[in-house]
Amino acid sequence: MARAHTYDAIILGAGAAGMMAAAVAGQRGRRVLLADHADAPGKKILISGGGRCNFTNLRAGSANYLSVNPHFARSALARYTPADFIALVDRYGIAWHEKTLGQLFCDGSARQIVAMLLAECDAGGVELSLSRAATAIDHADGQFRVTLGGRTVTAPRLVIATGGPSIPKMGATGFAYDVARRFGLKVVEPRPALVPLTLGGDETLFRELSGVATEVVASAATGRFREAALFTHRGLSGPAILQVSSYWRSGEPVEIDFLPDRASGWLTAEKRARPKATLRSTLGQSLPDRLAEALAERIALPGNLADLPDKALATAEQRLAAWTFHPNGSEGFAKAEVTIGGLSTDALSQKTMEAKAVSGLHFIGEGVDVTGWLGGYNFQWAWASGFACGEAL
Ligand code: FDA
């Protein structure tokens, strides 16, 4: 029997947040249409976490998110926690493990997470529409009218769950921002985040270290992370760099402590203990060989430690603890795991994710100006904002 084209809610975007909102609303008895322009749901989930989906982080709290209003995410995150998602995953018998720093991954495959969300949508009688783009949205008399590839559907509630523009080749778009602007809602300037940074000028030489990785403390603005950094043929990557890229602004430096476990005065202590060692051989004890060589060359203190004044060693030590890079850019939306910025949280209710100025219009997930750290935080925001919205539909 053909379904009527009228629903209680239309959700655009069958990604992480959209599937969660649809399942919750459907299971509350709402007639939900979940529509995506892609030919399959949850494509970013499938490629996430190297195919194993880092689906949440045990430590997720509002302090792990960037937003113009850092308190906005608190309400939704408190009402749908990592424990809630773990309970769902457990109910489906999906095996998982903690990799590091509270990051939870599937033992098997990210496909299990997509299958679970689809089963939850099914349990709520959600209708799924794929391969059809929304070409027009009208709003009149309390109803949203959406044109989906020749088909017109209506509902009193419309949810924009179309994510952000990172990785456009996977079908990611800035559609959420277009809808926001169409309804006169403010958008915080979107920029790529969790993205490798590029080096040029004098620092181009570091690209020769491509493939070298080491644990560092990296800082940019107020972001400070202890994780691995990786030199690449274009500049800097690895978890520590991806993390600080979310805080980095064009023209600003990134500081790296290459020896975070060394206490102040360690080089002069080395000089006393091993006077015949060189700076290069001393650095080689703690750092990968090629990196030790490159850093020693740039510090340019030749000869044995015994021949070097304590003051010069103290200066070298400071430089190694706060090596300043000046990235000339990032690898952009093509390589960014997420987009920072998006629909201004000022425009939304933090309880229902509904636009304050447009009754019935909700925004969830990455399209909103809430961006998590690397490590499962972004999916937790997608689940939590999707849940908050699904409860309000
Ligand atoms: P999401 O992008 O999931 O879904 C949006 C949906 O809307 C898509 O299905 C898209 O096709 C659809 N759409 C877009 N425009 C549309 C339009 N105009 N009309 C209709 N549909 C439209 N996070 C994390 O926590 N752990 C991890 O392991 C990873 N790993 C990871 C790896 C890689 C390579 C990337 C790129 C990203 C991650 N992330 C991650 C981030 C995570 O994938 C991201 O934060 C969430 O998928 C965001 O969920 P949303 O539902 O908001 O958007």
Tell me the mean pLDDT in the region 201-215.
Answer: 93
Tokens of 184: 């006169």
Answer yes or no: do 269 and 128 share one domain: no
320 C-beta closer than 6 A to ligand 1: no
Of the residues 312, 330, 348, the one at which a domain ends: 330
- Give 53-78 pLDDT, tens digit per residue: 999 999 999 999 999 999 999 999 99
pLDDT for residue 2: 37
Q: How many Å lie between the centroid of ligand 1 and the Cα of residue 303?
A: 53
Dist. CA 141 → ligand 1 center (Å): 32
What's the confidence (pLDDT) of residue 44? 97
pLDDT tens-digit map of 369-388: 999 999 999 999 999 999 99
Task: Please indicate, yes or no, whether residues 109 and 238 belong to a single structural domain of this protein.
Answer: no
Q: Quick check: pTM over 0.95?
A: yes
pLDDT digits (tens, 9 = 90+) for 266-287: 999 999 999 999 999 999 999 9
Distance from C-alpha of 116 to C-alpha of 210, rounded to nearest angstrom:
39
Whether 159 and 282 share a structural domain: no
**Is there a single domain that holds both residue 137 and residue 9?**
yes
Q: What is the mean pLDDT of the chain?
A: 96
How many domains in the chain?
2
Q: Is the pLDDT of residue 4 over 60?
A: no
φ/ψ region of 178 (left if φ > 0, alpha if ψ in -120 to 50, else beta) reads alpha
Task: Yes or no: say if 12 and 35 are a contact pair by the CB < 8 Å rule.
Answer: yes
What pLDDT band is residue 205 in, cutting at 50, 70 and 90? confident
Domain check: are 298 and 371 in the same one? no
Residue 272: inside a domain: yes
Is pLDDT of 295 > 50? yes
Q: Could you tell me the two tokens for 56? A: 């949440």
Closest-lying ligand 1 atom to the alpha carbon of residue 18: 51
Q: φ, ψ for residue 157 (rounded to 5)? A: -130, 135
* Alpha-carbon torsion (221, 60, 172, 6), positive or negative: negative
**Shared domain check, 117 and 42:** yes
The pLDDT, as a whole number, for residue 1 is: 36
For residue 294, the enclosing domain spans 197-330
Does residue 335 form part of some domain? no
In a domain, 88, yes or no: yes
Angle between helices 111-123 and 82-91 (to 10 degrees): 90
Cβ(103) – ligand 1 distance below 6 Å: no
184 CA to centre of ligand 1 in angstroms: 24
We report the CATH number of the domain holding residue 272 as: 2.40.30.10
Confidence of residue 293 (pLDDT cuts 50, 70, 90): very high
Mark whether 240 and 284 lie in a shared domain: yes
The enclosing domain of 83 has a CATH number of 3.50.50.60
% the chain with pLDDT above 70: 99
| 147 inside domain | yes
Amino acid in position 96: W
Q: Does residue 319 share a domain with residue 352?
A: no
Q: How confident is the model at residue 3, as a pLDDT? A: 44
